[in-house]
């Protein structure tokens, strides 16, 4: 396709930003620390009042209204405060993508976003040096309805527009005519044949790019599976293309860091000994975290695992990972209600893995408790705070004597047991048990049924009955227990 005639120079390259707007980051649930980019072919450029083609058999064609920066003079290793001087013009762009190809591109977006005509731009240029780059407004319409509206102020953008110029110029020379597409705000979604998309960049009450208009049409597909992949979509691509799961018609994703009140109530009734037996019956023989016990006798712990891992102490690693809001502090700072912080300390008792301040922070966040196969500092003060803590006992030394806080929210080994985020954690005076989430309901129901049976057996033993054929009930004893269940079907016995 021909380069739009209004562009002052033929662009040698076009670089697009993955995520730049706060609203888009909030919608996606992930906020980048630094800008990231992909290359978009200049052959995708198209003028206003044209069409964009959706191949037959594909479904996830999505628009992205964006601010386009056009380099006015070469930039190489320019500073942030000088970067905007290298921007010649600003205009509107539509960074169109075909999500049916996105998964296989793995972030490069080569096939999904570099099809011919997939970057309409214009229709007019705004002199970049005549405006404040933080004063721009970006709006997108689909079939006449506003679907995107955002600005370029510090509150709207994760990174200022000039930062893209400064950052990219560290790695390549930005040449006159090169184009930077600066990301899209929330509101990007799927469009279908017949839809009309319009994008405008302006300074409210001032200069404007005019409306960039593009109509979606369907064309015959030309994919050859003998030379490359065919279009393919899944729920992840649908969610990203539509903007969120609800818009894509998908059910909400289960939050594996929560636990229902009903399940929590049943687990609080079930002893770890009974739960352990039911896990063993299902092949889970390594389910008890060895060597840890409650600070306070009678403590019951029920919650969802949030994991934290320490590695052995090394001075250089502690220097890089031990200070500031390190991984340990970050976990205690962000733990949520009903979560149990489970710490892998390699069974080392010669240094604390938490103290009173961290315990207070976890309690303030309504955490369910902490399990560590290491030791606890400020032991008596932590006990006084009242947060359920299971550990190997006290030790006065600080973290850096034996440990480096390394990572979190991963699969760990605590007390010889594998623990994953989202696992169900149950603790009592016997110790702490790890239950895989997907079998927690059936395990606790079976444990409560067995507990009810054991209560009946205990009553018979107290009356003087022999254990023979009673523990567990067999023969006539089993019949007697079944009759008891039938006669007491309206009580609280588990069924």
Assess contact for 7 and 83: CB atoms under 8 A.
no
Candidates 114, 95, 105; CA nearest to 39 is 114
User: Considering only CA atoms, which of 42, 40, 30 is closest in space to residue 3?
Assistant: 42
| Exposure string over 63-80, b if 16+ CB within 10 A, otherwise e | bbbbbbbbbbeebeebee
Residue 378 annotated as lining a ligand binding site: yes
3-state SS class at 486 = helix
Provide the 3-class DSSP secondary structure of residue 382. Answer: helix
CA distance 356 to 388: 12
Tokens at residue 406, please?
């390394």
Task: Burial-class residue 326 by CB neighbours within 10 Å (0-12, 13-18, 19+).
Answer: middle
357 in a known ligand binding site: yes
Cα–Cα distance for residue pair 12/56, rounded to 1 Å: 31
Cα–Cα nearest to 275, from 427, 380, 402, 138: 427
438 is in an annotated binding site: no
Q: What is the DSSP string of 386-441?
A: T--EEES-B----GGGTEEEEEESS-EEETTEEE-TT-EEEEETTEEEEE-GGGHH
CB count in 10 Å sphere of residue 371: 27
How far apart, in whole angstroms, are the C-alpha atoms of residue 284 and residue 66?
A: 53
Q: Whole-angstrom distance between the N-terminal and C-terminal Cα of the chain? A: 71
**Nearest one of 173, 180, 172 to 68, comparing CA atoms:** 180
Largest CA distance in the chain: 100
Residue of 341, 328, 340 lying closest to 303 (CA atoms): 340
Residues 279, 443: Cα–Cα separation, whole Å: 7
Q: Is 358 annotated as a binding residue?
A: yes
Residue closest to 92 by CA, chosen among 67, 64, 117: 67
Question: How far is the CA of 418 from the CAs of 121, 267, 414, 447, 491, in angstroms?
Answer: 53, 20, 7, 22, 38
Separation between Cα atoms, residue 268 and residue 262, nearest integer Å: 10
The annotation places the binding site for Mg(2+) at: 378
The annotation places the binding site at: 355-358, 377-378
The annotation places the binding site for substrate at: 355-358, 377
């Amino acid at each position: 396709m021909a380069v739009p005639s209004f562009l002052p120079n033929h662009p040698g390259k076009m670089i697009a930003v993955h995520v730049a707007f706060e609203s888009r980051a909030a919608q996606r649930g992930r906020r980048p620390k630094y800008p990231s980019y992909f290359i978009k072919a200049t052959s995708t450029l198209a003028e206003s009042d044209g069409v964009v083609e959706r191949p037959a058999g594909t479904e996830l064609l999505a628009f992205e209204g964006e601010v386009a920066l056009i380099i006015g003079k070469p930039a190489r290793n320019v500073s942030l405060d000088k970067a905007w001087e290298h921007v010649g013009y600003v205009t509107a762009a539509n960074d169109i993508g075909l999500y049916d190809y996105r998964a296989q591109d793995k972030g490069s977006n080569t096939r999904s976003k570099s099809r011919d005509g997939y970057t309409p731009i214009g229709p007019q240029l705004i002199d970049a040096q005549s405006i404040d780059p933080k004063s721009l407004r970006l709006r997108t319409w689909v079939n006449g309805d506003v679907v995107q509206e955002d600005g370029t102020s510090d509150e709207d953008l994760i990174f200022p527009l000039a930062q893209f110029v400064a950052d990219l110029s560290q790695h390549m020379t930005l040449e006159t005519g090169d184009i930077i597409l600066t990301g899209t705000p929330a509101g990007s979604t799927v469009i279908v044949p017949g839809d009309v998309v319009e994008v405008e960049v302006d300074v409210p009450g001032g200069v404007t790019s005019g409306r960039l208009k593009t109509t979606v049409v369907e064309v015959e597909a030309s994919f050859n599976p003998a030379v490359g992949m065919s279009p393919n979509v899944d729920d992840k691509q649908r969610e990203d293309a539509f903007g969120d799961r609800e818009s894509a018609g998908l059910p909400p994703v289960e939050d594996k860091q929560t636990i229902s009140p009903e399940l929590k109530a049943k687990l609080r009734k079930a002893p770890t000994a009974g739960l352990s037996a039911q896990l063993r019956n299902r092949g889970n023989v390594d389910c008890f975290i060895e060597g840890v016990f409650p600070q306070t006798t009678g403590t019951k712990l029920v919650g969802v695992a949030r994991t934290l891992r320490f590695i052995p102490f090394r001075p250089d690693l502690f220097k890089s990972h031990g200070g500031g809001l390190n991984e340990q502090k970050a976990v205690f700072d962000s733990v949520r209600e009903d979560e149990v912080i489970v710490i892998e300390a390699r069974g080392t008792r010669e240094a604390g893995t938490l103290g009173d301040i961290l315990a207070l922070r976890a309690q303030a966040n309504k955490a369910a408790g902490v399990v560590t196969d290491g030791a606890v500092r400020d032991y008596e003060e932590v006990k006084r705070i009242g947060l359920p803590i299971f550990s190997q006992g006290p030790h006065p030394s600080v973290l850096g004597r034996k440990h480096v806080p390394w990572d979190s929210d991963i699969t760990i080994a605590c007390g010889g047991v594998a623990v994953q985020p989202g696992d169900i954690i149950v603790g009592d005076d016997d110790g702490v048990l790890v239950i895989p989430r997907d079998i927690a309901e059936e395990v606790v129901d079976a444990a409560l049924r067995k507990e009810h049976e054991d209560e009946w057996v205990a009553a018979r033993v107290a009356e003087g009955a022999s254990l023979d054929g009673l523990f567990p009930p067999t023969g006539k004893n089993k019949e007697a227990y079944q009759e008891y269940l039938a006669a007491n079907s309206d009580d609280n016995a588990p069924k």
